[in-house]
Amino acid sequence: MDNPFGLLAELTYRCPLACAYCSNPLNMADYADELATDEWRRVLVEARDLGVLQCHLSGGEPLVRNDLVEIVAEAHELGLYTNLVTSALGLTRAKAERLRAAGLDHVQVSIQADEPGLSDRIAGTPSFHRKIEAMRVVKELDWPLTVNVVLHRRNIDRVAEVLTLAEQVGADRVELANTQYYGWAWRNRDQLLPSRAQLDAAEAVVRAARKRLRDRMDVIYVLPDYYSRYPKPCMGGWAARQLTVTPNGEVLPCPAAQSLPLPKASVRVDPLERIWTDSPVMTAFRGTDWMPEPCRSCVRREVDFGGCRCQAFQLTGDAARTDPVCHLSPDHDLVASAVRAANADSRPDDRPLIPRPHRARAPTA
């Protein structure tokens, strides 16, 4: 594909939660100068003209934007399929009805666990019961509902109970996504990475649930990179199918790429088409010509595209290295040693997590 089909619109990094696995940047203050409503309208028009079909409205917590309804209405008018990715704090019935009238197509609600106390501890704020109520509102308004749960060492043992909860709220889809170690999750990796025994148990539960629920609910299970033999094809290839626009207008091939030492590109400076086609941040690792060995001569080079550039940089300091997740990578022991530590009998499990700082209270209207 020459053009992207998906836009992740990160409207704000403000959020009422304090999740220790959050992938938002550590330097969130750098993104405080958020795009105004008219700027987002222009971005959506340029994205449509570029070929984008899907618009995922995310953050942070997009509900803290007072203009969210206007942004949804603009995307709907342009013919984009809109998906709200939300903690659901602030998704009152009144706000939900306004979003429904504006044309919002889909709602994805995150929840941290099935049990109120554990969920609230992981979220860093009392939120479980408000999330459940919001999910009920979503279904009453006849929206498709996806329930998203980020899995890690503190909650992966409750996958069966999480699936039961998803059934109870009438979810059409549940995403069980093992933590990706960027942002705040990177700082907490040693306390979040699950053991092999935990993963094996969870996978058995998921297999059984997929069979039992195949006619009622889609069950998506995202394996953790660190336990894979080969890396996943990051975003289907660097700047190949999707793009991200951050709260201050920077354009990236994926949400984590802000950490890479690449020249910045911004919708406040250049049109989206020019950024997609020509900017260094988009062209740096597009295709396969940039690849080092062993990727360059690997038969999988157009399957996994060398893996994740952000993960390679996070682990090695060089974004052009083979993703250390790959067992063929010369840096693979960086991942293997983390896995060994996660499975050590003497591993302490009571060390505190470093929470993402709160940046906003949930709106009430």
Q: Name the 3-class secondary structure at 353.
A: coil
Angle between helices 196-213 and 159-168 (to 10 degrees): 30
Instruction: Work out the widest C-alpha separation in the chain, in whole angstroms.
Output: 57
Virtual torsion, Cα 14, 15, 20, 25, nearest 10 deg:
-20
Q: Residues comprising the binding site? A: 15, 19, 22
SS3 readout for 272-317: HHHHHHHCHHHHCCCCCCCCCCCCCCCCCCCCCCCCCHHHHHHHHC
Identify whether 294 is preceded by a cis peptide bond (ω within 30 of 0): yes
Q: Residues comprising the binding site for [4Fe-4S] cluster? A: 15, 19, 22
Q: What count of other Cβ atoms lies within 10 Å of the Cβ of residue 219?
A: 22
Within 142-206, strands assigned E span: 145-151, 173-178
| Cα–Cα dist 299/96, whole Å | 48
